[in-house]
A and B are shown apart, each in its own frame.
Chain A
Amino acid sequence: MHNRIRKKTLLTSLSVLLFLMLFVPESLAERMSEILPAGWADQLCLQAQASDTITLRVCNWEEYIDLGDWDEEETIELPSGDIIGENSMVEDFEEWYYDTYGKRVKVEYSTFGTNEDLYNMLTLGDVYDLVCPSEYLIMKLMAEDALVPLSDDFFDTAQENNYYSRGAAPFIRQMFENSEIGGEPWAKYAAGYMWGVTGLVYNPEIVTREQASSWKILADPEFARKVTIKDNVRDAYFAAVGAIKSDLLTSEEFRSDPDYAKNLEREMNDTSPEMIEKVQEWLKGVKDNVFSFETDAGKADMITGKVAVNYQWSGDAVYTLDQADEDDYTLCFAVPEESTDIYFDGWVMLRSGIGNDADRQHAAEAFINFMSRPDNAIRNMYYIGYTSVISGGEDPRMFEYAQYCYEAEDDEEETVEYDLSYFFSGDPENADGEYVIETPADQLERQLYGQYPPADVIGRSSIMTYFNDEQNERINQMWINVRCFDIRRAPWWSWILILGTLVLVGRYLIIRRLRNKGR
C-alpha cells in the first residue's frame, strides 16, 4: 500500500514536471535549439547583448522598408548624385550610427501586419522602443499616455543630422502641429514616415472616371462582383459614410462653407448609432456586390483583369498601376469627390521600451532621422511605392526624384503642368512655378496622381480619428454583422430543406427509440 502511494506520487510529480518544462521557455529553448530550424531558437531565448551596444527594438509594417540588394540598372540617377540600395536600410543605419556617434547600436527589427495586431502585441506584453503605426493608433497611444515625447534636440534644425526636422514637408508638419489629442499636438510625439490618401484603382475601358470618382460605385449593381473593398473596418466605414452622405458632401453649399474642412472632418467621423446602422445596411449591400473583401489580393485581381474597380491606398495604387504597365495594361487611379481619408504612418517611441534610457532614445531619434535623409527616403519610396513625408527642405533630391519619375520625355505629345508646390514649398502662393512638373497628360489620372495627389484632393481630404473603446466595440460588431447572413433573404427551398431534415431526423430517432423499447 505504502509503496503504491509512493509510486503514484512519483509519477504525478513527474508528469507535473513534464508540464512545467513545457511552461518554462528557457529550458525548452535549450532543448529545442538543436532540433529546431534557425530563427526558432533566437525567438525563444533573448540573447544577452554586450553592454556597450545599444539595442533598439523597432517594429514596422511588413514590407515597409528598403531591404537593399538592388540590381545595378536600378540605380536612380539624379542630378545631385546616384542613389542605390546595396545593403538593407537597417544595416546602413547601424553603420552610419557608429560612424557618426561612435557607438554601436543593434537594431532588432520586427514587423506587424495591421495596426490592431501591433496594438495587441503591445497590450499582450511585447516590448518595442520605436514603432510605426498609422495616425489613428498614434492618437490612441497618445491618449493612453504610452508614448515618450521627442526630445528638444530632435527639433533643432541647426543640427545637420536632424534630417526630419529639416526635411519634413511643411504641409505634413502643419497637420502634425494642428491636430491635437488631449491638448497636445501630434508633432510632440510623432514623426511622419509615409502618407497617402484612399481612392479607387479602375480599369478605364470598363469604368468611366466619373463613375470611379464616387464611393457609391462600390454598391453599384452595374459592376456586380467586379469591385473589391478593403477587408478592414475603418476603410470600409469611411467609404460607406462617403457614399451615404454623397449628396451632402458634394453640394455646393457644403463645399463653400468657410468651415468646410472642419465640417468635413465632423461628417466623416460620424459614429452615431444611427450612422452605424446605416453603414451596416449599406455595407451589407456592398457585400453582395463585391468580388471580395481583400487585404492584399486586390492588386493582383486588378492587374489580371478579374475586377474593374479596387478600393486602394494610394501607395499600393501606384504599385498596381506600375505592375499593370509592365503587362501593357492600363489602369487609372481616382479619388472620390465626396472625400478621401488622408493617412500617415509615423514613428513613435514607446514609454514601455525607451523608459528613461537617454542613449536608447538618442538611437531611436537617430533612426527616424536616418530614415528621413532624402536619399534614404527615396530608397524606401522606390522600394515600397508609398510616398515619403519628406520633401527635403534645402536638399533638392526629393523633388528631383519626383521629376525623375514623372517628367515627360522631350518627344511626349501631350503634356500638362502639375503643381506640387503645396507639398514641396511651405508657401504655395509664392512658389513661382518652382515645383511644377511637366508631365504626360495621362499622369493626371495615373501614378503621379496617386503618388502626390493634387492640391484639390488634399483639400477634400479628411483625417479619420480613432474610435474610443465604446465606439470601437459597436463598430466592430457592425463589421461582423455585415458579413452575417440576412435570414430574411433565405430562399424558400432552404426552409423546406432544413425543416424537412429536422422532421425526418426526429421521426427516425423516435422510431428507433420505440423499437429499442419494444425489444
Chain B
Amino acid sequence: MRFSRKSLGIPYAVFLVIFVAAPLLFLFYYAFTNGQGQFTVWNFTHFFTDPNTLGTLYYSLLLALVTTMVCLLLAYPVAYFLATSTMRTKPVVLMLFVMPMWINFSLRITALKEILNVLEGNLAMHPFLNAVVGMTYDFLPFMILPIYTTISRLDGALREAAMDLGANRVQTFLRVTLPLSVPGIISGVSMVFLPAMTNYVVLDMLYNSTYIMGSLIGSYFSAYNWHGGSMISLILLALICIFTLLTGNEEESVGRGGALL
C-alpha cells in the first residue's frame, strides 16, 4: 500500500521537469541556434575567441576571487571566535551576524552606497573596490554561517588532545581546527563565489560600469538576444558543474537554504 506516498513524487517530478529541466533544454536550443533558427556554434566560439567576452570572464573570476578571499578573511575569525567562545550571549551574537540576510539586499546596498559616498567623495573613482566592498557586505553572512556550523560541531576534545600532546595554540589551530573546518570553508566559498560572478546589480548600484558574467546575460536580455544570453547561461552552468564536481560536497551544497535556516 506504499504506492500512495510514492506517487506523491510525480507532481513534483513533473514540476521539476517543466520548470527546471525544460528551461535548461531550451537554453541549449537557443545557445546553439541563430535568429533564423539554424544550428550554429558561433555563440560558443565567439565567447572563447573574443577578447571582450574573455575579458569579462577574467574580470568576473578576479572579482569573485577577491570577494571570496576578503569574505573568508573576515568570516573565518568571526566564525572561529564565536564557535570557540564561552560567552552566554553566543546565540544572540550569532543571530546578529545572520540577521542582515533577511533584509532585502537592494536596500542594504543602498545603505552601503550612502556610506561609501561619504567616505570616498566620488564613488565612481574606485569601481573595483566598490564592487568588492559591496559584494562582501552582501555575502559575508553566507560565509560565516557554514564555517561556524562546522567548527562548532568539532569535538573540543580533539583540540585538547593536541594541546596535551604538546602542540601550542597556533599549531593546534593549523593542524587540527583548520583542516577539519575545510568542508565549512568550501560550503561558504560555494555560496559566495558564484553570486559574486553574477550579481551585477551590486556593481550597477555602486558605479562600477564594467561587465561581469551576469551583466552579459542582462545586456543580452535587454537587447532581446536570447541566443547570446543562453550561451552565457550555459557557460555559467558549466562552471557551476565543474565547481560542484571538484568539491564534491553533496551534503553541504544545500547552499543559501542551509545558511538561512
Contacts and interface: CB of A to CB of B under 8 A. Distances in A.
Interface residues of B, number: 38
Contacts of B8: 11
Interface string B56-92: 1011011001100000000000000000000000000
Given A483-B219, A484-B53, A487-B55, A120 B124 contact: no
B10 A11 contact: yes
A498 B65 contact: yes
B230 interface: no
A497 B54 CA distance: 17
Nearest to A488: B51
Interface in B193-214: 207, 209-211
Interface string A279-303: 0000000010011110000000000
Contacts of B53: 484
A101 interface: no
A290 B209 contact: yes
Given A14-B11, A116-B224, A483-B215, A501 B65 contact: yes
A contact patch SS: helix
A414 to B, nearest CB: 35
Nearest to A123: B224
Contacts of A473: 225
A190 B149 CA distance: 66
A152 interface: no
A490 interface: yes
Nearest to A500: B65
B61 A476 contact: no
A494 interface: yes
Interface stretch (A15-23, A204-212, A324-332): A15-23
A4 B223 CA distance: 51
Contacts of B54: 487
Contacts of A16: 14
Nearest to B6: A8
A12 B10 contact: yes
B222 interface: yes
B164 to A, nearest CB: 26
B210 A483 contact: yes
A483 B211 contact: yes
A496 to B, nearest CB: 11
Given A487-B51, A509-B246, A120 B10 contact: no
Chain A interface category by residue count: 35 or more
A210 B222 CA distance: 36
A11 B4 CA distance: 9
Interface centre among A226, A494, A497, A501 (most CB of B within 10 A): A494
B38 interface: no
A120 B223 CA distance: 10
B125 A225 contact: yes
Contacts of A486: 51-52, 55
A483 B11 contact: no
A518 to B, nearest CB: 16
B7 A7 contact: yes
A19 B15 contact: yes
A485 interface: yes
A19 B13 CA distance: 12
B151 interface: no
A480 interface: yes
B122 A306 contact: yes
A293 B211 CA distance: 12
Contact of A497 (B14, B66, B210, B246): B66
B62 A497 contact: yes
Contact of A485 (B14, B18, B210): B210
Given A480-B220, A497-B66, A287 B56 contact: no
B56 to A, nearest CB: 5
A481 interface: yes
B102 interface: no
Given A290-B209, A292-B124, A11 B58 contact: no
Contact of B209 (A19, A287, A480, A488): A287
Contact of B55 (A292, A485, A501): A485
Contacts of B59: 484-485
Given A290-B124, A291-B124, A484 B52 contact: yes
B58 to A, nearest CB: 5
B216 interface: yes
Contacts of B220: 480
A18 B12 CA distance: 11
A447 to B, nearest CB: 28
28 contacts: A15-B15, A16-B14, A19-B15, A116-B223, A226-B122, A287-B209, A287-B210, A291-B122, A291-B207, A292-B209, A293-B209, A473-B225, A476-B225, A479-B223, A480-B211, A481-B52, A483-B215, A484-B53, A484-B210, A485-B55, A485-B56, A485-B210, A487-B54, A488-B51, A490-B58, A494-B62, A497-B66, A509-B246
Given A116-B222, A116-B224, A479-B223, 19 more contacts: A8-B7, A8-B10, A15-B15, A18-B11, A19-B14, A225-B124, A225-B125, A292-B124, A293-B209, A480-B220, A480-B223, A481-B50, A484-B59, A484-B210, A485-B58, A487-B54, A490-B55, A494-B58, A509-B246
